[in-house]
Amino acid sequence: MQFLDDILAGRVVPGMNFNQKVWAMTVRIPAGKVATYGQVAKALGSPGAARAVGNALNKNPYAPRVPCHRVVGSTGSLTGFAGGLPKKQQLLIEEGVACAAHRVVMDRVEWVEL
């Protein structure tokens, strides 16, 4: 609860729990772009923890302030979403992400600079 500002600011600070770091990184995903669970995990220094990232986003208590809908599977598949996959796809389209039937066009991940 004390890292709230950092999280919403997209600031990953040592001392935060894994999930909090995940949320912080998620905030740094520019609108119109998407990142894979694996990319987020790697950015946090834990390559292979993609699955754990999914768990964190699933429990994301700061939605929609934390754009968890910008995180997709490695193939660009719209894997899971608390509010329902259709909702997730809709949000992405709103932001201008090219979607094609439960699949988004993968693009190089560009973390927002602080």
Partner DNA sequence: CAAATGACATTCT
Partner DNA sequence: TAGAATGCCATTT
List residues binding DNA (CB under 7 A). 17-19, 36-38, 46, 48-60, 63, 68-69, 71, 73-75, 79-82
Closer CB to DNA, 14 or 113, in the complex: 14
Q: State the DSSP string of 27-96.
A: HTS-TT--EEHHHHHHHTT-TT-HHHHHHHHHH-TTTTTS-GGGEE-TTSB----TT-HHHHHHHHHHTT
Closer CB to DNA, 106 or 113, in the complex: 106
Query: Is 99 one of the annotated active-site residues of the chain?
Result: no
- Exactly one of 12, 35, 53, 68 is catalytic; which is it? 68
Tokens matching residue 78: 């719209």
Closer CB to DNA, 65 or 113, in the complex: 65
Catalytic residues: 68
